[in-house]
């Protein structure tokens, strides 16, 4: 027993120094080794806490910085709404990545500390590392899809492809994002059905809620209608919508545009009106446009064609 305890301090200057404090008593190597183990664990905890603090500081800087600001871009007050959404998305993405980095740092630091402690206790770690390596290869072959999902989830978060609350089209399903993890994305479609989509199976994503959306409507009028009159009427409707504080402040981002005649047939002329809106709010603006356009055409006596 004494020989085994003495071997704990072999070729270890720190352990030998600590053992010397106890005048090389029979139990000194064991106590010195335990002190070294405690020192290793304390250092690991301190290093982990420092790394977490650095990550937290970087995340806070990334979350609180404001690269998106309406004063650098032209547009109405609605621009500020888009800026707020973009900043919030950036904050959520930074916090998620910070959480992932903290977990990775904890695994690396604690794993290294455990291996170092085992080595100090003269427990051979070479067979353990070999076993872990073989097990890792086996798990890697058996969990390729899982690894693929995690890698796809990491890049999805880094690139900010979508987030909670976005309306997206992932091919297999279209709906509102309710939850995003490194492995799956949970959607709820218009019928209330919940879809669980593995990140590794998503080949392309159509995001209807990122940045801004566009509301538009086609206005078919009779072929013999006066183009100039119809165009002026639609521009007046668009201007009134833009000047309405209930929409300009909260929904409409830029002044609506009347594109003019989009199509001509033997029975009708087709005009198109478009408005840039806040993300996922285009349906509300489009409904309001339809109501105002219909009322304006009815008041002017202009017939809407089939």
Q: What is the pLDDT along the chain (306 residues), one digit of tens a residue?
A: 344 445 555 555 555 555 555 555 555 556 667 777 888 889 999 999 999 999 888 888 876 765 544 433 444 444 555 566 667 667 767 777 787 788 888 988 998 888 888 877 777 777 777 777 777 776 666 677 887 888 888 888 778 788 777 888 998 889 888 888 778 889 998 888 999 999 988 988 888 877 788 888 889 998 888 889 999 999 999 999 998 888 876 788 888 999 888 889 888 899 999 988 888 788 888 999 999 999 999 998 888 876
* pLDDT tens readout for residues 82-137: 566 667 667 767 777 787 788 888 988 998 888 888 877 777 777 777 777 777 77
- pLDDT score of 3: 47
Q: How far apart are CA 110 and CA 118, in angstroms?
A: 12
Domains annotated for the chain, with CATH where assigned, are 2-142 (no CATH), 160-207 (2.30.30.60), 213-300 (3.30.70.100)
| Whether the model pTM is above 0.75 | no
Give the per-residue SS3 of the chain: CHHHHHHCCCCCHHHHHHHHHCCCCCCHHHHHHHHHHHHHHHHHHHHHHHHHHHHHHHHHHHHHCCCCCHHHCCCCCHHHHHHHHHHHHHHHHHHHHHHHHHHHHHHHHHHHHHHHHHHHCCCCCHHHHHHHHHHHHHHHHHCHHHHHHHHHHHHHHHHCCCCCCCEEECCCCEEEEEEECCCEEEEECCCCCEEEEEHHHCCCCEECCCCCEEEEEEEEEECCCCHHHHHHHHHHHHHHHHHCHHHHCCCECCCCEEEEEEEECCCEEEEEEEEEECCCCHHHHHHHHHHHHHHHHHHHCCCECC
- pLDDT score of 194: 93
- pLDDT score of 13: 58
Give me the phi and psi of 263, to 5 degrees please.
Answer: -145, 150
Q: How far apart are CA 263 and CA 240, in angstroms?
A: 25
């Amino acid at each position: 027993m004494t020989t085994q305890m003495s071997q704990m301090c072999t070729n270890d200057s720190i352990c030998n120094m600590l053992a010397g404090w106890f005048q090389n008593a029979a139990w000194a190597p064991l106590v010195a080794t335990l002190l070294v183990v405690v020192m290793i664990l304390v250092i690991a905890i301190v290093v982990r806490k420092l790394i977490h603090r650095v990550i937290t500081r970087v995340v806070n800087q990334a979350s609180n910085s404001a690269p998106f600001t309406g004063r650098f871009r032209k547009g109405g007050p609605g621009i500020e709404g888009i800026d707020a959404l973009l900043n919030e998305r950036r904050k959520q993405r930074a916090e998620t990545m910070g959480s992932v980095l903290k977990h990775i740092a904890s695994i690396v630091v604690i794993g290294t500390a455990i291996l170092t402690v085992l080595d100090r206790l003269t427990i051979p770690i070479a067979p353990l590392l070999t076993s872990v390596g073989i097990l890792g290869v086996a798990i890697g072959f058996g969990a390729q899809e899982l690894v693929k999902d995690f890698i796809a989830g990491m890049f999805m978060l880094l690139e900010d492809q979508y987030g909670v609350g976005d309306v997206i089209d992932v091919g297999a399903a279209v709906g509102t994002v309710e939850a995003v993890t490194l492995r799956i994305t949970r959607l709820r479609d218009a019928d209330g059905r919940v879809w669980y989509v593995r990140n590794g199976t998503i080949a392309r994503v159509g995001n209807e809620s990122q940045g801004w959306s566009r509301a538009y409507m086609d206005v078919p009028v009779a072929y013999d209608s006066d183009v100039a009159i119809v165009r002026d009427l639609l521009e007046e409707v668009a201007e009134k919508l833009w000047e309405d504080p209930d929409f300009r402040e909260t929904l409409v981002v830029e002044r609506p545009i009347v594109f003019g005649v989009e199509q001509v047939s033997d029975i009708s002329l087709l005009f198109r009106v478009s408005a840039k809106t806040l993300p996922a709010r285009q349906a509300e603006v489009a409904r309001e446009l339809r109501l105002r356009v219909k009322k304006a055409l009815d008041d002017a006596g202009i017939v809407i064609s089939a």
